[in-house]
Amino acid sequence: MLETEIKADEIKEETSLLPSYRRDMREYTEKQAGRFIKMNTVKDWSLLSWKDIGKPYEVTSFAKEKHDWEREHEKELPVHTSWEMFNRSFHQWFVKDVPAEMDRSKKEFLKNAAMMKPRAAKSALGELVRLSLWNYVHRIQDGIWDPRGKRGLFANLDLEKPRILFLGAAEGYEAMQLSAMYPGGEAVLVDYDPFCRDARFEEFPESYPFLGQNKQTGGRKAFYKNDFQIDYVVEDIRNLPYGKEFDIVLSVGLLEHFPDKLKPEVVDWHRSFVKPSGYIIMTTPRAQLRSKLYYEIMADVMNHTYRELMTVEQMGLYMYENGLEILQHGIIKVHNGIVARAR
Ligand SMILES: C[S@@+](CC[C@H](N)C(=O)[O-])C[C@H]1O[C@@H](n2cnc3c(N)ncnc32)[C@H](O)[C@@H]1O
């Protein structure tokens, strides 16, 4: 195993900004904890009703690529194809050299403005706005990977060398973070878009550190992608051959892509593969104003398929109503997160 030992004082403050992402090995103190995760605001889920909390916000602006496909084929974009488009589009942003791209698009805008080409200038300006937003949300704030929020959400679970199943895994980030915190087990990543295994996961940076636990010393340790035991399965979740055999069944950004009539089935996907003593962990994007703006501005990059933004109360009620016991719930930078068990 290629594991790298880190001294505690090195871990404490170390963070650096790379061209495509933030490398962040900082822990937070008890006092700062509330800045990274707000936990357990609902005391009794049986007292919540849809009348009180309302239904999720539906994102209705879609990518140009989706509109173009539908115009050309004169039918609605099939869901599987919409994921293929989404994954290719989203991946391009994770591998960008963001400062260099911002520089290039600034020059492009100024050149077109000086040459009085309003359409080209407008298009370059749009790209510059998207790049600046991505720079802030992903690279500076680290809102998408959010390692400190995710570690807060995944903390204190009763697990020994867990088998983890990640449904709709994309690049697999959260299964790797869990594997660092609860080392020695294995993770099965499932996505029906082969691009996720062959590009999103394959090209995930090998030098990205996941802060976790040193089982020998009880201290902290950085783990890297190649340290983990990962099996990437390209398959529709509906066709998986497993029984109730996983210690953790996880999904990140899956539930909100299904309208209400399909949500019971999605919750059930998790329940069918988790051991009776195991954990179901789900996250979904938050219904906050800044997220609504983000999905508006990034529509061409992100909005190829049905998408809702919801509160943690709405997310929890879907899970509670569909037979889960909620153990922990919280909000991190851009997502809600819930740890549950099958009831
Ligand atoms: C929104 S993404 C997950 C978000 C992810 N964290 C990201 O950064 O893109 C959901 C993933 O689930 C996959 N997916 C959706 N429905 C699926 C199904 N029925 N079986 C397998 N994978 C599915 C999609 O291909 C997509 O990669």
Host H or E run for residue 223: strand 220-223
The last residue of one of the domains, among 140, 167, 194, is 140
Q: What CA–CA distance (Å, rounded) separates 164 from 162?
A: 6
Residue 80 falls inside a structural domain: no
169 lines ligand 1 (CB under 6 A): no
Residue 73 falls inside a structural domain: no
pLDDT confidence tier of residue 334, bands split at 50, 70 and 90: very high
Instruction: Report pLDDT digits (tens) over 208-243.
Output: 999 998 888 988 899 999 999 999 999 999 999 999
Same domain, 226 and 123: no
Q: What is the CA radius of gyration of the chain?
A: 21
Same domain, 261 and 191: yes
Same domain, 221 and 270: yes
Q: What is the pTM of this model?
A: 0.94
Q: What percent of the chain has pLDDT over 70?
A: 96
- CATH number, position 301: 3.40.50.150
Q: Please report, as a single letter, which amino acid is at residue 301.
A: V
Q: What CA–CA distance (Å, rounded) separates 110 from 297?
A: 21
Ligand 1 pocket test, candidate residues 193, 203, 267, 282, most atoms within 8 A of CB: 193
Burial class (CB in 10 A: 0-12, 13-18, 19+), 217: exposed
User: Would you state the pLDDT for residue 30?
Assistant: 80
Is residue 338 pLDDT above 80, yes or no? yes
CB–CB of 337/282 below 8 Å?
A: yes
- Helix, strand, coil tally for the chain in percent (to 5): 45, 20, 35
User: Would you state the pLDDT for residue 6?
Assistant: 53
Q: What CA–CA distance (Å, rounded) separates 201 from 199?
A: 6
Nearest atom in ligand 1 to 168's CA: 12
Tokens read off for 260: 């209400």
* CA–centroid distance, residue 306 to ligand 1 (Å): 12
The last residue of one of the domains, among 84, 114, 140, is 140
| Total number of residues shown for the chain | 343
* CA–centroid distance, residue 54 to ligand 1 (Å): 26
Is residue 150 pLDDT above 50, yes or no? yes
Tokens read off for 1: 């195993």
Average pLDDT over residues 44-61: 97
pLDDT confidence tier of residue 2, bands split at 50, 70 and 90: very low
| Ordered DSSP codes for 267-324 | HHHHHHHEEEEEEEEEEEEB--HHHHHHHHHTHHHH-SS--EEB-HHHHHHHHHHTTE
Query: What total of structural domains would you count in the chain?
Result: 2
* CA–centroid distance, residue 18 to ligand 1 (Å): 26
287-311 burial by CB neighbour count: b if 16+ within 10 A, else e? beeebeebbebbbbbbbbbbbbbbb
Q: Please report, as a single letter, which amino acid is at residue 221.
A: K
Same domain, 124 and 259: no
Same domain, 201 and 127: no
Is residue 12 pLDDT above 60, yes or no? no
User: Would you state the pLDDT for residue 1?
Assistant: 39
306 lines ligand 1 (CB under 6 A): no
Instruction: Report pLDDT digits (tens) over 118-130.
Output: 999 999 999 999 9
Same domain, 117 and 159: no
Average pLDDT over residues 148-168: 96
CB–CB of 206/224 below 8 Å?
A: yes
Domain of residue 198, residue span: 28-58+144-342
CB–CB of 193/88 below 8 Å?
A: no
Is residue 7 pLDDT above 70, yes or no? no
The last residue of one of the domains, among 84, 105, 140, is 140
pLDDT confidence tier of residue 13, bands split at 50, 70 and 90: low
Residue 315 falls inside a structural domain: yes
Same domain, 181 and 321: yes
CB–CB of 208/240 below 8 Å?
A: no
* CA–centroid distance, residue 156 to ligand 1 (Å): 27
Protein residue whose Cα sits closest to atom 15 of ligand 1? 168
* CA–centroid distance, residue 29 to ligand 1 (Å): 33
236 lines ligand 1 (CB under 6 A): yes
Protein residue whose Cα sits closest to atom 3 of ligand 1? 253
User: Would you state the pLDDT for residue 3?
Assistant: 45
Same domain, 119 and 43: no
Protein residue whose Cα sits closest to atom 16 of ligand 1? 168
227 lines ligand 1 (CB under 6 A): no
Same domain, 165 and 119: no
CB–CB of 189/232 below 8 Å?
A: yes
Average pLDDT over residues 310-324: 98
User: Would you state the pLDDT for residue 36?
Assistant: 83
Same domain, 194 and 264: yes
Nearest to 238 by CA among 187, 263, 272: 272
Residue 171 falls inside a structural domain: yes
